[in-house]
Amino acid sequence: MKRDLRLLSSGTAGIFTLCVATLAAASRPNILYIMTDDHAAHAISAYGSRVNQTPHMDRLAQEGIRFDRCYAVNSICTPSRACILTGKYSHQNGVPVFNAFDGTQPHVAKYLQAAGYHTGIIGKWHLGSDPTGFDHWEILPGQGVYFNPVLYDSDGARSYPGYVTDVITDLAIEFLSKRPAEKPFYLMVHHKAPHREWVPDEKYRLQFAGRQIPEPPTLHDDYATRTDALREQQQSVFLDLTRRDLKLKPPRGVALKDQAAWLNVKPTEVELTNAAGQVVKLTGDALNRWKYQRYLQDYLACVQSVDDNIGRLLDWLDRHNLRENTLVVYTSDQGFFLGDHGLYDKRFFYEESARMPFLVRWPAGIKPGSVSNGLAINCDFAPTFMELAGLPIPADMQGRSLLPLFRGGRPADWRSSFYYRYYHDPGHHNTRAHYGVRTDTHKLIYFWKKDQWECFDLVNDPQELRNIYQDPAAQPVVAKLKEELYRLKRELRDQDEFSTQLPKDGVDGPPKKWKPGYGPQNRNPQS
């Protein structure tokens, strides 16, 4: 038996008609999609972390599959989220920077909702418009806050007491508890953590406060052989962390009206009181090393709360007999620099920034302890969920279903390269616009506004320290990479240099002209 499923959407999207076999709810997997903001794969012990232990994320890897080469195709928060929803690159989904997502366009939640899934999004949305395609949504306004967060839905806003990671998990469990049992569910649980300003709860703040975190081998990278882009960036652990980031408190005598300005200063010296009660002034290398420790201590403490709450969700599913046929995904919207190359943000097409954690448990369809080395991208997530639900994958989705990799295979025609593009130049961190290609063995990056290139041999130089673009011996490889780069640009219909002037943003926020759905003018927080 077949039925006609119609997805109504205003604007040019029109009416999408899908003919799919009617499937019993029990035969279609539930999908629980858990995503953090700015969590690097190398801060997960299942990925070999040297800096922390994440037992519940590891549990997903042990009971499911770990993807070792999964990447964001535009490593920045809002664009990545749009890619994940639509299965399309930024130039096709309309979100190259921090502009608002057009919710009238088709996306995976709409397709699943039309196919009978009970859909929900809880937590950080960060797409500049209210969600569409969800039976239930409750989201943070903009970035949200770590303590006593406000979340809003179509009826208004509420303030919740407590720590934001716990609150979002509480609301997710409430959604699962109240869901219609006759329908499969698709729930997106989006955490704020571990986004800047990296504010941990008290338990983990105290636990990590005294820890000495191992330094990455590239913390003091001198950028030799690299382009000007690395020297011009403003996301340096040593130079660009502010007093606010470092959790320094204004001294007595700084007026309340002046405290924000004081906190936004990037300090070149810091006075601390040691255990003996003596005031110590840190400068130079001692200050730099202290900055790294303060940054990582708070960042990792935020991650630990996320790990705890993943455990809560897994335990809830197991207790309610939802383990076998629920696909649980853990990922982040991109990677993050943890002092690698001396940096603390993302945006660049270097491995630490673009590589995403991607852990999936699905006992009904994935062998425990599986590992995939196939090149995956965040545009693949939507097609994967479509195929899981028994739906045809729309022709305009540019990703590819990961189900063959879930099953332990790697089709002969699986991608051997992918395209990346970052647009936001200049942005808050002064990261230069660039695009590039990554293959199984090499990476080529073009900073097109500066007309400068980088090429890396990822087999012999996995830390991307030696730019071989000008090496005579590398010219045949460079030529092949350029050919592949421009082939992908044509295939993905990204033909121009996107020279349009793009708006500047605040600290990982939207441009000033952006108007959020939440604000004091139209939504009043309620206790």
The residue that leads in pLDDT, 316 or 17, is: 316
Residue 402 pLDDT exceeds 50: yes
In SS3 terms, 151-191 reads as: EEECCEEEECCCEHHHHHHHHHHHHHHHCCCCCCEEEEEEC
The residue that leads in pLDDT, 409 or 330, is: 330
Taking each helix axis from N to C terminus, what angle separates 284-319 and 164-178, rounded to the nearest 10 degrees?
20
Mean pLDDT of 262-277: 93
* pTM of the shown model: 0.91
How far is Cα 406 from Cα 372, in angstroms, rounded to an integer? Answer: 8
Residue 527 pLDDT exceeds 80: no
Q: How confident is the model at residue 503 (pLDDT cuts 50, 70, 90)?
A: very low
Reported as a single tens digit per residue, the pLDDT across 255-265 is: 999 999 999 99
Structural domains in the chain, CATH included, are 28-199+304-409 (3.40.720.10), 210-290 (no CATH), 422-491 (3.30.1120.10)
The answer to which of 303-317, 388-402, 503-517 has the lowest mean pLDDT is 503-517
DSSP lists the bridge partners of residue 390 as: none
pLDDT of residue 497: 54
Structure tokens at 213: 């975190």
Residue 505 pLDDT exceeds 70: no
How far is Cα 249 from Cα 263, in angstroms, rounded to an integer? Answer: 8
* Residue of 26, 44, 127, 38 whose CA lies nearest to 310: 44
What is the percent of the chain with per-residue pLDDT over 70, rounded to a whole number? 89
Q: What is the DSSP code string of 77-131?
A: HHHHHHHHHHSS-HHHHT-SSSPPP-TTS--HHHHHHHTT-EEEEEEE--SSS--
The answer to which of 17-31, 210-224, 505-519 has the lowest mean pLDDT is 505-519
Structure tokens at 13: 């999207």
pLDDT of residue 496: 65
